[in-house]
Amino acid sequence: MRYKFKIKQIAFFALIIISFFSGCNYNSEKNIDKVSKLLPNGKHLMVEKTNEETTAIGIFTKHDYGTTHQFSYRFSIDNGDVIWDGGSGEPKNILFCEDTIYVRYLANKYIQVESTDSIDNTTKYDYHFEIKEVFQKHIDKRYFFKLLGDDYWVDVLPEDYACRKISCDEYPIPNSCELLLPPVTKEAGSKQ
C-alpha cells in the first residue's frame, strides 16, 4: 500500500516539475498601420492593418518556443460613412457603382475534404487551409441622415462582381500582400 502511495507522490512531483519547466510567458506586440488614400472618384479611403506578434518564452529555461503572427484589416470610406471589417481577410479591390460598393478580398479559409475509403467504405475527413477569393456587396438600409437603420456586407458570386466591374469604377486597396492566390496551372490532359 505504501509503495503505491510513493509512486503517486513521485508522479505528482514530476508532473509539477515538468509543468514549471515547460510553462511559458507570452509577450505580445501589436502594431497598427494606417494608410490614407484619395481615390480618383473623390472618395477618401482609410485602410487600417493591425499586426500582432506573440512570442512564447520558457519561464525557467528562457528558451524561445516560437512566435505567432496574426493580422486583421479594416477600412472606411469618407471618414466612416462605410466601414468594412474583414478580420484576417486581406482586401484587394474596391468597386464603386452608382447604387452600392463591392469589395474583393482574399481569406485563408479552413476547408473540409470528404473522401470515402474503398476498402471499408467509411467516410473520412481531411482539413487544410486554402486561400480563397471572396466578394462582398455593401447593403445600406440607413435613413434619416444615416442615423437610423443598419448597413452590412453580404457575400456575392464572383460572376456578379465581374459583371458589375464592366460598368463601375474599380480601385486597388493598399495592403501588405500577405495573402496571394496560388498560381493557376494547366491541368493534365488539357489541349495546348
Least confident of 18-22, 88-92, 96-100, 174-178: 18-22
Is the pLDDT at 187 greater than 80? The verdict is no
Q: Which residue has the higher pLDDT, 142 or 120?
A: 120
Is the pLDDT at 31 greater than 90? The verdict is yes
Residue ranges of domains in the chain: 24-172
What pLDDT score was predicted for residue 5? Answer: 65
What pLDDT score was predicted for residue 120? Answer: 84
Q: Would you state the cell numbers that stand for residue 9, as one nine-digit string? A: 507522490
**Dihedral sign, CA of 126, 127, 131, 135?**
positive
- How far is residue 46's CA from residue 7's CA, in Å, rounded to a whole number? 63
List the beta bridge partners of residue 72: 50
What pLDDT score was predicted for residue 19? Answer: 64
Is the pLDDT at 3 greater than 80? The verdict is no
Q: What percent of the chain has pLDDT over 90?
A: 37
Q: Mean pLDDT across the chain, nearest whole number?
A: 84
In sequence order, the 6+-apart residues with CB closer than 8 A to the CB of 81 are 146
> If pLDDT is split at 50, 70 and 90, which confidence band does 167 have?
very high
Q: Pick the most confident of 12-16, 57-61, 96-100.
A: 96-100
What pLDDT score was predicted for residue 2? Answer: 61
Furthest-apart CA atoms within the chain: distance in Å: 85
HSE (CB half, 13 Å, CA atoms) of 36?
5
Least confident of 111-115, 120-124, 147-151, 183-187: 183-187
